[in-house]
């Protein structure tokens, strides 16, 4: 979703939910990056050792081969691997989102068979959730602004699933607590703008890179809302001082 500009009725620009959540650490990324670094280190050392054992007599030629080999392990390759691993999850996310919002399914004719099968398996799990909850879309991608707290956000999906529910789609290996803080921010926005029709349930649909599907639902996010509002206050102080994290 493209970045949106949120403004109060006065025209004053305010930060969005996602930006505010940037004040909260994402610890799950640290061990992932560390494990990828160890894996790449093992591959590099093994590859270089093999090249030396089989290498040319001329040291300069051998050095050239090693330098060329190391080009494959530039920092960008770490993120390329992450993005490649998320292909099935990205496709699964698209399938679910298109179904929820009544959009045409994405074209999968050029998608590798293994990725397509994983994404389709994830989609079938989502359909089971949809059937169980009798989900019906009410609105999607609704931009809202809080005049009280001074922030904005675009709610992903709202619908009926037992009651008036807020649904957030994630492509991730799991459902993390920080995600609930984000959903809490959206809940604050909705409830302030629609006090006569508050959210009754909060849902996260998690599309996993390996084709897995997870769903969690909560009816009370009062603690997460409190944390989010503290983060909003921190963001305002950072903005006042011109500090960027």
- Whether residue 9 contacts residue 147, with contact meaning beta carbons closer than 8 Å, is answered with yes
CA gap 244, 20 in Å, rounded? 11
The string of pLDDT tens digits covering residues 133-154 is 999 999 999 999 999 999 999 9
The pLDDT of residue 85 is 44
Q: Where are the alpha helices (DSSP H) in 14-112?
A: 17-21, 29-53, 59-70, 75-85, 87-101
CA gap 121, 119 in Å, rounded? 5
CA gap 65, 79 in Å, rounded? 24
The string of pLDDT tens digits covering residues 56-87 is 667 777 777 777 777 665 544 444 444 444 47
Region 87-241: CATH code: 3.90.320.10
The pLDDT of residue 36 is 62
Classify residue 147 by its DSSP letter: T
Mean pLDDT value across the chain: 85
The pLDDT of residue 86 is 47
For 115, other C-beta atoms within 10 Å of its C-beta total 19
**Angle, to 10 degrees, between the axis of helix 87-101 and the axis of helix 75-85?**
40
Confidence band for 235, pLDDT divided at 50, 70 and 90: very high
The pLDDT of residue 50 is 78
pTM: 0.75
* Closest to 175 in 3D by CA, of 229, 217, 145: 217
The string of pLDDT tens digits covering residues 3-56 is 689 999 999 999 999 999 988 866 555 565 666 667 677 777 877 787 777 766
Sign, CA dihedral 14-221-216-219, equals: negative
Q: Are strands 201-207 and 164-171 parallel, antiparallel or unpaired?
A: parallel
> What mean pLDDT do residues 195-206 have?
96
Q: How far apart are the first and last CA of the chain?
A: 22
Token pair belonging to 242: 């011109």
The pLDDT of residue 81 is 45
The top-scoring range by mean pLDDT among 63-77, 90-104, 212-226 is 212-226
Q: Among 1-5, 62-66, 93-97, 167-171, which is the least confidently predicted range?
A: 1-5
């Amino acid at each position: 979703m493209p970045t949106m500009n949120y403004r109060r009725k006065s025209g004053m620009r305010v930060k969005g939910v996602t930006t505010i959540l940037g004040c909260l650490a994402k610890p799950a990324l640290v061990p992932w990056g560390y494990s990828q670094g160890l894996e790449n280190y093992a591959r590099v050392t093994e590859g270089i050792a093999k090249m030396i054992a089989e290498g040319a007599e001329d040291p300069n030629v051998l050095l050239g081969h090693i330098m060329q080999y190391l080009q494959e392990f530039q920092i960008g390759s770490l993120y390329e691997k992450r993005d490649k691993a998320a292909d099935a999850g990205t496709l699964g996310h698209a399938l679910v989102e298109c179904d929820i919002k009544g959009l045409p399914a994405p074209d999968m004719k050029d998608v590798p068979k293994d990725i397509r099968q994983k994404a389709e398996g994830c989609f079938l799990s989502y359909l089971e959730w949809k059937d169980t909850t009798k989900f019906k879309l009410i609105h999607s991608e609704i931009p809202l602004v809080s005049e009280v707290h001074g922030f904005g956000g675009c709610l992903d999906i709202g619908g009926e699933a037992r009651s008036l529910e807020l649904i957030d789609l994630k492509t991730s290996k799991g459902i993390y607590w920080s995600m609930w803080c984000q959903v809490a921010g959206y809940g604050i926005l909705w409830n302030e703008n629609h006090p006569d029709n508050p959210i009754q349930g909060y849902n996260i649909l998690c599309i996993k890179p390996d084709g897995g599907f997870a769903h969690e639902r909560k009816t009370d996010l009062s603690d997460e809302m409190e944390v989010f509002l503290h983060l909003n206050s921190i963001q305002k102080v950072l903005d006042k001082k011109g500090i960027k994290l």
